[in-house]
Chain A
Amino acid sequence: MSEKANILFVDDEERVLRSLEMLFRNRFKVYTTVDGNQAVDICRRERIHVVVSDQRMPAVTGVEVLRRVREVSPNTMRLLLTGYSDLEAIVNSVNEGEIFRYLTKPWSAKEITNTVNQAADIALSLEHEAGTDTGGAAPGVLVIDEDPTVVEMVKAICGKDRAVNWSVDLDEAFETLAANDIAIVVCDIRLRGRDISAAVKALKESNPMVLTIVQTQLQDVETLRSLINHGQIYRFLPKPARRGLLEMSLEAASRRHVAMKAVPRLASRYQVEKNEQAPVVALSNRLLGYLDKMRQGRSS
């Protein structure tokens, strides 16, 4: 990429900013600020490709900063860099900040370089392709949840004009995904007592166009962090399911999907971090077969 991307770092500790600026100034034009409000102003004024914000800051929280950045500059890739694991913040970072990565302090210079580079490449490549919310055929929904009230709620929300599939079996779910035009998956990460988060992540990796709404009772910071970084889930909702929340999330996901359909490259915003521990091994061969099928389906 010949063009230099603009990166903004937000942290109330100026030593963090100095350190990051030194790490990145050769590659990018680096902006820094200790003030969250100012960060939003910079994003409004300048063409910022990537913003990396701390979470706990005196005046405004990082999630709040990223939520407002998303409003004033939707194409800016948003990353959270925090030393504090607070569940509410991380849930909001998904639902309100729609963040690309959740990074933790202390970080590794190599990893943060790779991640920020990747975010900058994506932002630069999409710069002139901002998706607009155009109408279009309502995309299909797949519910993977053994709780029948969830599928009933989704059906009630979607009405007649959108196909709602329901599956309580992973193999069957992936068969449905491979055979139908599914845009949104509503799922729990536990299915019949088993953790299916590896499948949720693999699904996003093989098909970035599918938007995942995870609805679960489980509230664990590490799991959620991994679902963001490796699964790029679109929304994280609590259980028992609340209709209002689910409805808003489904609508947002539909709009997002329509935009991506208009400009398929937008899906690159949802690139997942390759999981080096390779949990994909845990997936059955059959599942991997479906995933391959979906990958080929996209490239053809």
Chain B
Amino acid sequence: MSEQTQLRHLVMSAPGIPPHLLVSDVADLFMDETHGKLLSLPVLDGDRPVGVISRARMQQVLFRQYGREIFGKKPVTAIMNSAPVVIESDVALNEASKTVTERLKFPVTEDFIITEGGRYVGMGAVMHLLNAMEAQLAQQTADLDTAYKQLKASQLQLIQSEKMASLGQMVAGVAHEINTPLGYVKNNIEMMEMFFEGNRDFIGACTALADVLLSPHSTEQDLQEKLGALATLRQGRDAGDDEDIPRLFADTCFGIDQISELVQNLKNFSRLDRAAAADVDLNECLDSAVLLARNVLKNRVEVVRQYGALPRISCMPSQLNQVFLNLLTNAAQAIEGPGRILLKTEAEGDWLKVTVQDTGKGIPAEVLPRIFDPFFTTKPVGQGTGLGLSISYQIVQQHGGDIRVTSQPAKGTRFTVRLPLAGAGITQASQGEAA
């Protein structure tokens, strides 16, 4: 226990009164300026406290008619409080405070006695005790506040690292998604270049032939020459190419659209929107998440969408995207082999409901209560941080909503996210935290 939190440093020195001292002499002591601050003086038998006499008690006695005459010559023991509150100096402040409130009959007018090993060392004032207690409380509050801030900071870091981890996985997946269309688009364009080079030569030969045909000075030999050149070029041409060129263009445009779509989604997802955006269509958010999760869904998992007509709501779309992507990824990972994910949205009273239901292996009943706990994961090391659901839970909570889960082993799991229709009621503070 530290010095600060003990009674010792509250000790005020006050002269002890021997038990036989007369009341009138005690009155003189109280009138002495040096003891002006003391509410009471201790009565000591040697160094053992036997009572306490307070300024208020003295006044009560002496102000009485003939008070000084009646009591002045009596020993102080006649009027003292013979059951003083005595507290050892090494007692903790809060302990002392407890004793004082329980036992001190006149806390406003009386001091208490402080002893060390039963021997008097000085007086303690209730006021000082209160001040010290307050200071101690303030210190504790400050400590708690610091601890809370540190906790908050490390939690933010965790959220950030989870975001980076899932973003990292996603980016790697999306890179693959982009590289595939990029692969055939580039190849197609390089082939078209070769094709058009061939065409240029062919058109050149045609033009040369036309020139010969139109010229009055052309000889039979000129004609043969040009016809021969054209025939050679024609032989080298792949008849299939002409038919395939439209297809090549269509594929190329398709690939470029696909790349644009992926990039757009990536942009939407990672947008650092600290402020809540108004007018967000949750169905669009879900579509965006499905696109980004394509990598885990592939052709293996069929996504069935049952979207209701949803009013737009005010929320932080990039965060809700993170929630939906997390739920989708979990659902896809729960499905071994082929399966189905049902995405259902509906407006119900004052709430929007988003359901993500999979036909996966389900969550065992004993695990279910823990799935939202931070760091709880059943995935192998490296596949999950154990933070995904706990962060999703926080995000939804900050939006004023909730996530519920039901699961049947071997049948599948259903997560239901509910969000309030009337704007998410996101506070300024929680926006800062979640960003």
Q: List chain A positions with a Cβ less than 8 A from chain B.
A: 12-13, 15-16, 18-20, 22-23, 25-26, 54, 56-59, 81-86, 104-110, 112
Nearest CB on B from A175, distance (A): 43
Q: Tell me whether B251 and A18 are in contact (CB under 8 A).
A: yes
Q: A58-B298, A108-B190, A109-B190 are in contact. Are A22 and B244 (CB under 8 A)?
A: yes
Q: Tell me whether B187 and A58 are in contact (CB under 8 A).
A: no
Chain B residues near A86: list those with CB within 8 A.
Answer: 172
Nearest CB on B from A183, distance (A): 37
Nearest CB on A from B242, distance (A): 12
Q: Tell me whether B190 and A15 are in contact (CB under 8 A).
A: no
Q: A15-B181, A25-B240, A26-B238 are in contact. Are A107 and B186 (CB under 8 A)?
A: yes
Alpha-carbon distance A280/B244, docked complex (angstroms): 44
Alpha-carbon distance A20/B251, docked complex (angstroms): 12
Q: Which of A15, A110, A112 contacts B255 (CB 8 A)?
A: A15
Nearest CB on A from B330, distance (A): 19
B:161-181 near A, CB below 8 Å = 172-173, 175-176, 178-181
Q: Tell me whether A15 and B179 are in contact (CB under 8 A).
A: no
Nearest CB on B from A118, distance (A): 18
Q: Say if the beta carbon of B369 comes within 8 Å of chain A.
A: no
Nearest CB on A from B152, distance (A): 36
Nearest CB on B from A105, distance (A): 4
Alpha-carbon distance A13/B187, docked complex (angstroms): 14
Alpha-carbon distance A57/B295, docked complex (angstroms): 10
Q: Tell me whether A105 and B251 are in contact (CB under 8 A).
A: no
Alpha-carbon distance A58/B294, docked complex (angstroms): 11
Q: Tell me whether B184 and A13 are in contact (CB under 8 A).
A: yes
Nearest CB on A from B256, distance (A): 11
Q: Which of A56, A59, A105 contacts B183 (CB 8 A)?
A: A105
Please report the total number of B residues contacting A with Cβ < 8 Å: 31
Residue of B nearest to A18 (CB): B251
Q: Say if the beta carbon of B148 comes within 8 Å of chain A.
A: no
Alpha-carbon distance A107/B178, docked complex (angstroms): 13
Chain B residues near A58: list those with CB within 8 A.
Answer: 298-300
Q: Tell me whether B179 and A19 are in contact (CB under 8 A).
A: no
> When A and B form their complex, what is the total count of cross-chain residue pairs whose Cβ atoms lie within 8 Å?
83
Q: Tell me whether B185 and A106 are in contact (CB under 8 A).
A: yes
Q: Say if the beta carbon of B291 comes within 8 Å of chain A.
A: no
B:226-256 near A, CB below 8 Å = 238, 240-241, 244, 247-248, 251, 254-255
Mark interface residues in B176-202 (1 if CB within 8 Å of A CB, else 0): 101111111111101100100000000
**10 CB < 8 A contacts A-B:** A13-B184, A15-B181, A15-B254, A19-B188, A20-B184, A23-B191, A25-B238, A84-B176, A104-B179, A106-B186
Nearest CB on B from A197, distance (A): 25
Q: Tell me whether A22 and B248 are in contact (CB under 8 A).
A: yes
Residue of A nearest to B182 (CB): A106
Chain A residues near B194: list those with CB within 8 A.
Answer: 109
Q: Tell me whether B184 and A84 are in contact (CB under 8 A).
A: no
Chain A residues near B248: list those with CB within 8 A.
Answer: 18-19, 22
Nearest CB on B from A116, distance (A): 12
Nearest CB on A from B175, distance (A): 7
- Binding site secondary structure of chain B: helix
Alpha-carbon distance A19/B178, docked complex (angstroms): 16
Of listed A18, A20, A105, residue having the most chain B CB within 10 A: A105
Chain B residues near A106: list those with CB within 8 A.
Answer: 179, 182-183, 185-187
**Apart from A18-B247, A58-B298, what are 8 other A-B pairs with CB-CB below 8 Å?**
A15-B251, A15-B255, A20-B187, A83-B176, A105-B179, A106-B186, A106-B187, A107-B186
Q: Tell me whether B244 and A13 are in contact (CB under 8 A).
A: no
Q: Tell me whether A84 and B187 are in contact (CB under 8 A).
A: no
Of listed B183, B190, B251, B300, residue having the most chain A CB within 10 A: B183
Alpha-carbon distance A15/B241, docked complex (angstroms): 16
Residue of B nearest to A20 (CB): B187
Q: List chain B positions with a Cβ less than 8 A from chain A.
A: 172-173, 175-176, 178-188, 190-191, 194, 238, 240-241, 244, 247-248, 251, 254-255, 295, 298-300
Chain B residues near A81: list those with CB within 8 A.
Answer: 183
Residue of A nearest to B177 (CB): A83
Q: Which of A18, A105, A110, A112 contacts B182 (CB 8 A)?
A: A105
Chain A residues near B184: list those with CB within 8 A.
Answer: 13, 15-16, 18-20
Q: A15-B251, A19-B251, A22-B248 are in contact. Are A107 and B175 (CB under 8 A)?
A: no
Chain A residues near B254: list those with CB within 8 A.
Answer: 15
Q: Tell me whether A83 and B188 are in contact (CB under 8 A).
A: no
Of listed B176, B182, B187, B298, residue having the most chain A CB within 10 A: B187
Chain A residues near B241: list those with CB within 8 A.
Answer: 22
Alpha-carbon distance A277/B175, docked complex (angstroms): 26
Q: Tell me whether B251 and A83 are in contact (CB under 8 A).
A: no
Q: Which of B181, B183, B298 contacts A107 (CB 8 A)?
A: B183
Alpha-carbon distance A13/B185, docked complex (angstroms): 12
Chain A residues near B191: list those with CB within 8 A.
Answer: 19, 22-23, 109
Nearest CB on A from B236, distance (A): 10
Nearest CB on A from B246, distance (A): 12
Residue of A nearest to B251 (CB): A15
Nearest CB on A from B251, distance (A): 5
Alpha-carbon distance A12/B180, docked complex (angstroms): 10
Q: Tell me whether A83 and B299 are in contact (CB under 8 A).
A: no
Residue of A nearest to B255 (CB): A15
Residue of B nearest to A81 (CB): B183
Residue of A nearest to B248 (CB): A22
Alpha-carbon distance A54/B185, docked complex (angstroms): 16
Nearest CB on B from A99, distance (A): 18
Alpha-carbon distance A15/B248, docked complex (angstroms): 9
Q: Tell me whether A83 and B300 are in contact (CB under 8 A).
A: no
Q: Which of A26, A84, A109, A112 contacts B179 (CB 8 A)?
A: A84
Q: A20-B187, A25-B240, A84-B172 are in contact. Are A13 and B180 (CB under 8 A)?
A: yes
Chain B residues near A82: list those with CB within 8 A.
Answer: 176
Alpha-carbon distance A77/B179, docked complex (angstroms): 24
Q: Tell me whether B186 and A84 are in contact (CB under 8 A).
A: no
Residue of A nearest to B188 (CB): A19
Alpha-carbon distance A107/B187, docked complex (angstroms): 7
Chain B residues near A107: list those with CB within 8 A.
Answer: 183, 186-187
Chain A residues near B172: list those with CB within 8 A.
Answer: 84-86
Nearest CB on B from A141, distance (A): 35
